[in-house]
Structure 1
Amino acid sequence: MMTEWEEQSFIWPKGYTSDAVHAKLRYSKLDVGWLVSEVPAAAAGVYTTNQFCAAPTAITKQLIQKKHTLQALVMNSAFANACTGEQGVKDVSQEQQWVAEKLAITPDLVGVASTGLIGSYLPMAKMEKGIQALKQTSNTLLTEAILTTDTKTKTLCLTATIGGKQCTFSGFAKGSGMIHPNMATMLGFVVTDCQIAPDCLQTMLSTLTDETFNQITVDGDTSTNDMVLLLANGVAGNQEVTTEHEDYPLVKNLYHLLLTELAKMIARDGEGATKLIEVTVDGAKTKKEAQAIAKAIVGSNLVKAAMFGNDPNWGRIISTIGATSATFDPNKVAVQLNEITVVADGQPVAFSEQAASKSLEQEIVFVHVDINAGAHSGKAWGCDLTYDYVKINATYST
C-alpha cells in the first residue's frame, strides 16, 4: 500500500559511505571526493548533449549503458577534464584504477565525474594523493567538494516505506553557470538503499528528466561534462521495485520531487542570481509546446533582466511566447505576474505597476501564462540576469 514520504536532514542511505578532501586542485576548498556502496548498485544516467562530451562523462555513460551497475563514484571540482583528448581518457582510467585498488573492486564499477575549467589536464599527482586520502565515513562533505561557482550546497533527503521496508532517498547536485540542459549542465545524483530494477530506474530517470532538469536554464549554455545519475543498492531489503510493483507510483513520485527540487535549487543559485523565476504555462495544444514556451520565457535575457530590475514589462513575455513555434491564437493569451493579471485575451489589462514592481522584489517570481489552445501544461525554472553574472563570467579562468 502506498504511503507518503518524509523529509529529513541530509544523510546517506544504508550501505553508502563517503568522504572528501582538499587535494589542492584549488586554493582552499574541498575538491576531491567519493561515494561508495557496500555492494554493487543498480545505476541509471542521463548525460550532456554537448558534442564536446568530457572524458569522465563519456566513460561513465559507457559503463552504465553496458552493465547498469556501479559501486563507487569519484568526483573532483576545479578541472573538467574536457577537451583533453586521449590523455583525458587515460586519466579517467587511472582514477578508476586507483579507486578500484583501494576498494578491492573492479575498475568497471567506478564512475567518474568532473567539473570545472574546460581544456586543462587533471593534475594527476594531486588526484592520486587526494584519492589515497579518502576514507569511508558517514560525513557528507562530498556535497561541498563538487561545487564550483555555487554559493551553497544543494541537497534533499526523503524517507518512505517501500515494500514494508524504510528506504532513504538522498539527492545532491551542483550547478550555477552554463545551465541550459538538454540533458543538464550540472552534476546531479540521487542514491537510495531501495532495491529497484535497473531498467525501471533508467526509464524513470529518462522520463522525469524532461520535466525537471531539462526545464531549467540560467544562461543558455550547455556544458561539456555534466550528468544526472541514480544509484539503488537494495540494502534496505525490500522486494525489487519494477513498473508492475504496487509501490512503483510512490517511487516515481519520490524521484519526481527530488529531481524537481534539485533542479529548482540549481536555477535559484544561478551565477549572480537574486531570485528564482518559475513559469507555468497552461492551455497549450501539447505538453511539449507548453514546456517549450515556459523554458523560452525563463531563458529570455530580456525577461531575466526585467525580473532583476523588478520591472513588470509583460511585453517581453508576450514577445517571447510569439517567437516560439507553438500553435495558439494571440487574441486568447493571458499573463499573470505573481497572480496580478497583466494581459487578458491578448490585450493589456489595467494594473498597478507600483504594486506589480513591489511583488517582483520577492525571492521567487511566479509567471503564469494561459495559451487557451488546449489542455496541456508545462513548467520551467530560471533566474534573473544580474550585473554579478557578467563579473563572474568575465574573469572565470583568469
Structure 2
Amino acid sequence: MVCFQIEFSMLAVFAGLVNQPPNFIFKGHSMKKFINTVDNLLDESARGFALAHADIVRLNPEPRYIARTAPRAPGKVALVSGGGSGHEPLHIGFVGLGMLDAACPGQVFTSPTPDQMLAAAQATESGGGVLFIVKNYAGDVMNFEIAAEMLDCPHETVLVHDDVSIPEHQGMGRRGVAGTTIVEKIVGAAAEAGADLAACKALGERVVRATASMGVALTSCTVPAVGKPTFGIADNEIEMGVGIHGEKGRKRMALASASEIVEHLTQAIDDELKPAKGQPALLHVNGFGATPLMELYLVYDLTRQFWDRRGVSIVRSLVGNFTTSLDMAGCSVTLTLLDDEMIRLWDAPVHTAALRWGC
C-alpha cells in the first residue's frame, strides 16, 4: 500500500514543471540551484549521501530508505524515523551507531510513504521490536500509523511536538522541529545500550516533555518544484515562530537587533518549560540552512546569557545546521531539561554522518 501526504499543495500545482532546466523563472522570480531535474533530485542526492558515507550507511533505492551498516546486537530495539527531504542532515544524517537504525526520506517537504517505513523497519528489526520517532505533521503521523499497522513485530511510536510557537491544542497540535535531533540521540544511545522497547518509548516521551523549540526566519525558502519563495517577506521584516517547511510564523515583526530577536525566542521557551534555578539543560541553536555559523554562535552567546541570568545550568550544547529548511535564512533555539540519565546518554558514543563523538 502506498499512501502519502503532500505538505504543500503548491507542489501539485507545479507538478508538470519537474523536467524544466535548473534555472527556473516564474513571473519574474528566478531560482538558481544545483539540479538536473526536480524529479531526480532526491534520487541523486540520496545516492551521493550513501556513497559519501558508505562506511556507516547503505541506500535501499526502492522503497527508499537509508540504513546503518554497523552490526546490531540481537534483541536491540530498532529506531526508525523519517520525513520530507529538505531538512538535512535530519533524518538521514543521524543514521548510524548510537542513533537511528534507518531513516526514510520523502520528496522535498513531503512525507515518506508507508511502504518505505515498513521496509526500513523490517530490514532493521533484530528481535527487540521497532520504535518509530515521528515529527508531529499530519502526513508523517498518518503514514507511520499505516506502516505500524502492517508491521508484524512489537512496535511503539514517540511523537515529537516541541514547537512552542503553536498553541498546544490548536489543530494538529505542536509541530516536531529541531528537538527531534535531541530525542533521536538520547533514545538512540539507550537502544544501543540494550534498553527494551517500553523503556525506549518512555524515555523518548520524557525527552519530548522536557524539550521546547522556537524558530525565526529572515527569509523564506524556495521549494525546487515551486521555484519561488513560499512566502513574501520584506527586507526589514522577520517571521517569528516559523515552521521548518516554509510555513509562515505566528507573527510578522520588524527586523530588530539580534538581542531583541533572541529575547522573543528564549522567553517563549522559558515560559513553556519554566526551568528551576540550577536545572541542568542542553542548549541547541539550529540553523535553517542559509545562516552562517558566525551568526549562529552569536545567537548561542545571547541565549546562554539569557539562561545564565536565570540560574539555569547549560551543561551541554549543540550549534549548527541540523534541522534545516532548504535555503531559509534563520535559526531556532531548543532547550532540553536534562537529568543524569539523559546527560549520560547524550554523552554516549555516536557515529553518524552529522554527529560523531566517543567512537
TM beyond 0.5: no
Larger radius of gyration: 1
Structure-1-length-normalised TM-score: 0.27
Structure-2-length-normalised TM-score: 0.29
